[in-house]
Structure 1
Amino acid sequence: MKTNPGRFFEDYSVGQVIRHAVPRTLSGGERALYHALYPARGALYSSDDFARSCGLPQGPLDDLIVFHTVFGKSVPDISLNAVANLGYAEGRFLKPVYPGDTLCSSSEVIGLKQNSNGKSGVVYVRTTGTNQHGEPVLEYVRWVMVRKRDLDAPAPETSVPELAEAVAPGDLIVPEGLRFDEYDTELAGEPYRLGDYALGEVIEHVDGVTVEEAEHMLATRLWQNTAKVHFDATHREDGKRLIYGGHVISLARALSFNGLANAQMIVAINGGAHANPCFSGMTVRAWSEVLDKAETAVPGVGAIRLRLVASAGRGTELRGADGKYAPDVLLDLDYWALIPA
């Protein structure tokens, strides 16, 4: 048989390194389509002139284009037979990606845990994306629930990795040449700098986007994500296509422009959870909470740590009285972004 059914839970072992197929050269086409799919308006990614005024050679590709591309490479090997992608940790953006760069990715299995039902298990991987020069541009940990092929296959020894709660400010990478000493807040869209935000402040981002079936499938194909749950309506008992969690991340990040227009570059993903599934017809709204602020080694460039929450409802409720995520919460993402100090 020459076709590839994908890996199942019993096919993984701790320490296994998987080199993912099909390098991808990115261009301005990915940027244009990204901005068509999401209401993204970040000035640094929209204008080469604005990027040059901030010390970069041209506008880099949106950070989440890089994330989705590297992630998509890993899907056929990691999550083709997934029940759900569960979370992220220790993510760092290491180098900007520009049109014309070619990305590859590889993953190392760093943990395994079979579920008590014996039908599936959780696979922990550390994925690294590299450019055409072999330079790492992104690394992150994710964990995904994967079906078993053989329910009688023995459970592996449980090995759950210890993961940092957050990337330390000193480990954030400021792109070479980036500066904000001539930053034009009027062109960027808002006047607010790092000092204008207070710890614990909650920003409700006002706008909403209703998810359409065709758009989420187009987006998922754009990132070459082949997970069956996103396309095959017969793959779930309810007959629904599950929206790719990264689609929700990009929607929420784009919606956060209203109130966080100057949080320009994502430099770390501290943690994340897809709290509840998202399906076509849901309207996604977003709010952010300021968790921390820090200086970087570059004068004038600050870092802001944000909790970004996507919800299918209104308001800013994160958890119920039982401590569980509220039923409307779709995404809980903790990240660092660079912002003018």
Structure 2
Amino acid sequence: MTTQRRHKTNPGRFFEDYRVGQTIEHAVPRTVSGGERALYHALYPARHALYSSDTFAGACGLPASPLDDLAAFHVVFGKTVPDVSLNAVANLGYAEGRWLKPVWPGDTLRSVSEVIGLKPNSNGKTGVVWVRTTGLNQNDEAVLEYVRWVMVRKADPGAQVPEPVVPDLAKAVPADRLVIPDGLDFSTYDFTLAGEPHRWGDYEIGETIDHVDGVTVEEAEHMLATRLWQNTAKVHFDLTFRPEGRLIYGGHVISMARALSFNGLANAQMIVGLNGGAHANPCFAGDTIKAWSEVLDKAETPAPGVGAIRLRLVATKGGDPFRLKNDEGRYLPEVLLDLDYWALMPL
């Protein structure tokens, strides 16, 4: 008698497996705790006071210090990887991101994605997939939403694929659509404890800030971070997929650059909007990440003492600060990240 072999493992989705309108419920909800915060602050030089101190957060009208906004993003993002980007060549960009509710220790997060766009590449081997992902807590309340697009391999280069659908995405989240956490109040904000005296009114549109410091990325810390967020993308672990080196998770670069931005933007406390982003060039272990920011816009909010500031955060691995693209409009080879986000800052 011949025993039939049954394959129970999941090879991940390939480009031809997606359809516009498809909804994907991602597996393995994650209950977060103070442990995530401690590990996040160990991996990155994160020092923003609102995410470091229950007392400081309480003085700003919150019941306690929430989980770091990017830590929540990484958890929600990590849930999607086995279904969206397990067979990715590269994560290409972000848009229309909003943080909708704080994430507290004890919350359980899960993720749901909708496929909103597909475009095969001319090489016949890959295509671009756009998904809108929502992170939900244990009460089915949305805590985070964003769009990302990723280049995914085809399993069969000859497979038929649907007609291209490229979504029309907003260039920026309008300031009046930013969600301010309930109770947030910066009217008695303690600038001494926060670490810098600079408030919303001290920043001018067009101003650039060199964050000065740098951090050399180590292989071990990247592997730990990527596993912490349960990100299973093969390019981050398996050298047979990237013989030139394991690709550093783009979120690791985002968090490192955001943490470095404390020097000059210590009072840009909460990220509430993600307007756009590009991982301009790959990052590998041994690269030294530095960062600079540009003020793109400012807006008042209805919350007492709270202003919104739109920032471009650029991570580099060398070169002169404030240089982004060449004369042809291409990112310079030393640029790793170009991120456009909204943050909340005391007036």
Give TM-score, length-normalised by structure 2. Answer: 0.97
> Which residue is equivalent to 1:306?
311
CA RMSD of aligned residues (A): 0.6
> Which residue is equivalent to 1:56?
62
What are the superposed Cα offsets for residues 209-234 of structure 1, whole Å, 9 maximum, x if unpaired? Answer: 00000100100000000000000111
User: Which residue among 268, 273, 277 is the counterpart of 1:272?
Assistant: 277
Matched, 1:288 2:297: no
> Which residue is equivalent to 1:85?
91
> Which residue is equivalent to 1:38?
44
> Which residue is equivalent to 2:23?
17
> Which residue is equivalent to 1:175?
181
User: What is the CA–CA distance in structure 2 between the aligned matches of 1:323 and 1:144, rounded to whole Å?
Assistant: 21
Instruction: Specify the code of the residue in structure 2 equivalent to 1:289.
Output: E
> Which residue is equivalent to 1:193?
199
User: What is the CA–CA distance in structure 1 between the aligned matches of 2:328 and 2:68, rounded to whole Å?
Assistant: 37
Matched, 1:112 2:118: yes
User: What is the CA–CA distance in structure 1 between the aligned matches of 2:78 and 2:242, rounded to whole Å?
Assistant: 21
User: What is the CA–CA distance in structure 2 between the aligned matches of 1:15 and 1:237, rounded to whole Å?
Assistant: 35
> Which residue is equivalent to 2:135?
129
Q: Which runs of at least 4 in structure 1 moved beyond 4 Å after TM superposition?
A: none
What are the superposed Cα offsets for residues 183-217 of structure 1, whole Å, 9 maximum, x if unpaired? Answer: 00000000000000011000000000000001001
User: What is the CA–CA distance in structure 2 between the aligned matches of 1:30 and 1:237, rounded to whole Å?
Assistant: 31
Give TM-score, length-normalised by structure 1. Answer: 0.99
User: What is the CA–CA distance in structure 1 between the aligned matches of 2:242 and 2:181, rounded to whole Å?
Assistant: 42
What are the superposed Cα offsets for residues 254-279 of structure 1, whole Å, 9 maximum, x if unpaired? Answer: 00000000000000000000000000
User: What is the CA–CA distance in structure 2 between the aligned matches of 1:44 and 1:125, rounded to whole Å?
Assistant: 31
Matched, 1:258 2:263: yes
Correspondence 1:324-339 to 2 at 5 A: 324-339=330-345
User: Which residue among 218, 230, 245 is the counterpart of 2:250?
Assistant: 245
> Which residue is equivalent to 2:102?
96
User: What is the CA–CA distance in structure 1 between the aligned matches of 2:143 and 2:248, rounded to whole Å?
Assistant: 26
User: Which residue among 49, 56, 75 is the counterpart of 2:81?
Assistant: 75
Instruction: Specify the code of the residue in structure 2 equivalent to 1:272.
Output: G
> In structure 2, the residue corresponding to 1:69 is in which secondary structure?
helix
- Report if the CA contact (8 A) 2:184-2:304 is conserved: no
User: What is the CA–CA distance in structure 2 between the aligned matches of 1:155 and 1:114, rounded to whole Å?
Assistant: 8
Instruction: Specify the code of the residue in structure 1 equivalent to 2:169.
Output: L
User: Which residue among 148, 169, 183 is the counterpart of 1:142?
Assistant: 148
Where does structure 2 lack aligned partners over 5 or more consecutive residues? 1-6
User: Which residue among 326, 329, 334 is the counterpart of 1:320?
Assistant: 326
> In structure 2, the residue corresponding to 1:305 is in which secondary structure?
strand
| Higher mean displacement: 148-157 or 31-40 | 148-157
> In structure 2, the residue corresponding to 1:209 is in which secondary structure?
strand
> Which residue is equivalent to 2:53?
47
> Which residue is equivalent to 2:211?
205
Identity %: 76
Shift of 1:155: 2.8
User: What is the CA–CA distance in structure 1 between the aligned matches of 2:194 and 2:235, rounded to whole Å?
Assistant: 38
Aligned length: 340
- Report if the CA contact (8 A) 2:118-2:166 is conserved: yes
What are the superposed Cα offsets for residues 62-87 of structure 1, whole Å, 9 maximum, x if unpaired? Answer: 00011000000000000000000000
User: What is the CA–CA distance in structure 1 between the aligned matches of 2:301 and 2:187, rounded to whole Å?
Assistant: 14
> Which residue is equivalent to 1:8?
14
User: What is the CA–CA distance in structure 1 between the aligned matches of 2:127 and 2:248, rounded to whole Å?
Assistant: 21
> In structure 2, the residue corresponding to 1:263 is in which secondary structure?
coil
Correspondence 1:156-171 to 2 at 5 A: 156-171=162-177
- Report if the CA contact (8 A) 2:217-2:285 is conserved: yes
Correspondence 1:224-243 to 2 at 5 A: 224-238=230-244, 240-243=245-248
| Higher mean displacement: 308-317 or 260-269 | 308-317
User: What is the CA–CA distance in structure 2 between the aligned matches of 1:13 and 1:237, rounded to whole Å?
Assistant: 31
